[in-house]
Chain A
Amino acid sequence: MKQINLLMVDDEKGFLDTIIKRLKKRDVNVSGVYSGKEALAFLDKNKNVEVVILDVKMPGMDGMETLIEIKKQCPLVEVIMLTGHATVETAIDGMKMGAFDYLMKPCDINVLISKVEEAVAKKKAHEDKITEARIKEITQRMA
């Protein structure tokens, strides 16, 4: 199976570092950044990122703002909101803004991976549709 390119955004360094180690062990190509700004910069440089896991509550640029910016910058990237309990409403708002799903901290690593896989599958399907449409357009033009 193809390696998943994942970006995790969380200001909680201890959490982020450990979960990255665990994900890498499970053969996920994962990178971590500690703020919304860094995430945007990272996405700008690495166009191969498929899924972003975004903590809702962060100092400075918070999850929602980051989500909006990400969706502006690279609309095809899927975003999963990661939240403490108090911010479920925000996560739901995020889903309305185009996030794929949300996860609650602390979360089971396997649940997390399966969510990510779902997101990837969705992205893939989405991209396939786009490609198909393009092909159709091209063939029509050629015809």
Chain B
Amino acid sequence: MEHVPEDRHIFYQVLTRKITMLIVIVSFFPMLLTTGILFSRFNGAYADKVRAHISELVQKHTQNIDTFLAEKTGNIRFMAQNFNPRQQSAEAFLKQNLALLKKEYGDVFTDVGLVDDKGIQFAYEGPFNLKNADYSSAQWFLMAQDQSVYISDVFAGLRGHPHFIIAVHLQGQDSHYILRSTINFGAFNSLVENIHLGKTGMAFIVNARGSLQTQTHVDLLPEVIQSVPKPKDFNDKATVFIKKEDNTGREYVCVAAMFKNIDWMMVFHQDLDDAFRDLQSTKWLTLSIFTLGCIAIVFVAFALPRNIVHLLSSADKKSEVMNRQVVESGKLATIGELAAGIAHEINNPVAIMVEEAGWIEDLLEEEDLKQCENLDEFTRALRQINTQGRRCKEITHKLLSFARKTDSTINDVQVNDSIREIVSLTGQMARYNNVIIETRLNEGIPYIRISPSELQQVILNLINNAIDAMEKTGGTISIETKISHIENKHLVIVIQDNGPGIPRDNLARIFDPFFTTKPVGKGTGLGLSICYGIIEKMNGKIDVQSEVGAGTKFRIWIPFQEIEEQTT
């Protein structure tokens, strides 16, 4: 039973593989798809959010700075319009106004000065001694000639400090001046410096020529500054978002916004990894969940089919055993019907033969044959015919009993008595074959309700088989009866010989009908299968153990009822 046929084995393997494939396909692809789609959607949405956030930040600060510049320019223009050289000296005017501005705005304005059309600063108020300084060749002065209001780029200037200048034209009666004011670079710079995001997010301002207008904490690579968007990139949009890689391989994002009042540009710069840090961690989380999912699927895909196939194979085995049993009992039933038919058909001719023999006997009584010298022989022969006829009757009776169609009358039977009877019957034959029959009959065993003739048939059959097996060698048959320790409420009959034993191949088939190892004509192959049928009918069990060269042991278990139960 343990042995699984090769084709079954292959079938199980194929089945396992198919289920595994199915599980992998059915669970893997949806998971892959779901994870992929969700992640890419999330990726897009999150990138949009980050982009919008940075753009908004940049826009807001750009507006702030725009406002700042507009306000400061306004202040200077307002101051310029108030200047009347007839009422007030230039010096006094500057002093008064700078004091007002400082009072109002703190340290934003460093100094103020009036410069004539030749570039000489004829009046100055501030911490430096810049009276009569010559600005005729200064960049801002030249630029300011054409515009009523001019805001310079940041430059070191005469003082060597970075600063920038707001210059306003002031139209006098005979000539025109320029009112210039220096804006504290520190105050301006702090507006931009305050823009921080993450670890690497920072902002700076560049002018139209791409030179830096603010100080930064980190040294920016020149090509980063060079790569900021050009004004033409904006296309009427408030901000421009670009993604680039510097020559060290680090990716970064760059968000730029133009100022309204000046051709400067606010640029926000951040490492890509830093900007999308949350996205990155989500990516890792997704990946690890995905990996765990894959492992789980693979585990299930391999463990589950194996389990299923295991269950299937054990169910198969069970059904195979059941099938065999069905086939076995079917075989026995068929044999039974056949036997009944044959027995019945034989019975009538035998009856006739016996009658005819009886008739001859009758005739012998009266004829003159009484003087015949062979009379005794005649009588003996006739008696023999009678005896053999009766034997035929016994045989047919047994066959019919096997077929369960006769009165196998059930009685309370003492197994030991039955066995003694059979042993005495077979004793002669056993001695003839040099076989000794030993009995170890336990007196304590209870009566059982069975057909005594059937039990005798079984035991007789087993003893005959044992004698046949030891025909040449001689040996010992031991018969033992006792109450079973293995089965509850069963008694066991053990019939053991020390004959040649049964080869392993035959052992499984000995209860099969028509299986015989005896030469043709010697055995029908029905004996043990009939025994099997009888014991089954008694709700008992029969089994066999045999070892070649050591002997054979048959064990029969028959259920008994307790005495109390019998009386009820």
Contact = CB atoms under 8 A, between A and B. Distances in A.
A105 B344 contact: no
A84 B116 CA distance: 157
A86 B352 contact: no
A24 to B, nearest CB: 10
Contacts of A89: 407
Contacts of B343: 85-86
Contacts of A14: 352, 356
A86 B340 contact: yes
Pick the most buried of B352, B353, B407: most chain A CB atoms within 10 A of its CB.
B352
A106 B344 contact: no
A106 B406 contact: no
Nearest to A105: B351
A105 B396 CA distance: 11
B362 A106 contact: no
A109 B358 contact: yes
Interface residues of B, number: 25
Given A86-B400, A106-B389, A12 B344 contact: no
Interface in B313-368: 340, 343-344, 347-348, 350-356, 358-359, 362
Contacts of A105: 347-348, 351
Contacts of B131: none
Interface on chain A toward B: helix, strand, loop, or mixed SS? helix
A88 B407 contact: yes
A18 B344 CA distance: 20
Nearest to B407: A88
A43 B55 CA distance: 130
A25 interface: yes
A64 B354 CA distance: 26
A22 B358 contact: yes
B413 to A, nearest CB: 20
A107 B348 CA distance: 11
Nearest to A12: B348
Nearest to B340: A86
A25 B348 CA distance: 23
B351 A12 contact: yes
Interface string B48-77: 000000000000000000000000000000
B380 interface: no
Nearest to B406: A85
Nearest to B397: A85
B362 A25 contact: yes
A136 interface: no
A22 B356 CA distance: 9
A99 B354 CA distance: 25
Contacts of A25: 362
B541 interface: no
Nearest to B349: A14
B393 interface: yes
B359 A21 contact: yes
Contacts of A106: 347, 350-355, 389-390, 393
A123 B396 CA distance: 34
B18 interface: no
Contacts of A15: 348, 351-352, 355
A120 interface: no
B431 interface: no
A15 B347 CA distance: 11
Contacts of B355: 15, 18-19, 22, 106, 109
A107 B355 CA distance: 8
Interface string A87-125: 011000000000000001111010000000000000000
A21 B396 CA distance: 27
Interface string B378-397: 00000000000110010011
A89 B400 CA distance: 13
B233 to A, nearest CB: 113
Given A25-B362, A106-B389, A84 B356 contact: no
A89 B406 CA distance: 8
A12 B406 contact: no
B405 interface: yes
A142 B311 CA distance: 94
Contact of B359 (A12, A22, A86, A107): A22
A84 B407 contact: no
A88 B406 contact: yes
A85 B404 CA distance: 11
Contacts of A109: 355, 358
Contacts of B400: 85-86
Interface in A66-99: 84-86, 88-89
A85 B351 contact: no
B393 to A, nearest CB: 6
Contacts of B397: 85
Interface in B444-468: none
Contact of B344 (A22, A85, A104, A107): A85
Contacts of B396: 85
A86 to B, nearest CB: 5
Nearest to A88: B407
Interface string B106-119: 00000000000000
Contact of A18 (B348, B359, B389, B390): B359
B310 to A, nearest CB: 50
Contacts of B407: 88-89
A86 B354 contact: no
Interface in B402-434: 403, 405-407
Given A21-B359, A84-B347, A85-B397, 19 more contacts: A14-B356, A15-B351, A18-B355, A18-B358, A22-B358, A22-B362, A84-B344, A85-B344, A85-B347, A85-B396, A85-B405, A85-B406, A86-B343, A104-B393, A106-B347, A106-B350, A106-B352, A106-B389, A109-B355
19 contacts: A14-B356, A15-B348, A18-B352, A18-B356, A18-B359, A22-B362, A85-B343, A85-B344, A85-B396, A85-B400, A86-B340, A86-B400, A86-B403, A86-B405, A88-B407, A105-B348, A105-B351, A106-B347, A106-B389
Listed from nearest, the 8 A-B pairs whose CB atoms lie closest are: A106-B351, A106-B354, A105-B351, A18-B355, A14-B352, A84-B347, A85-B400, A15-B352
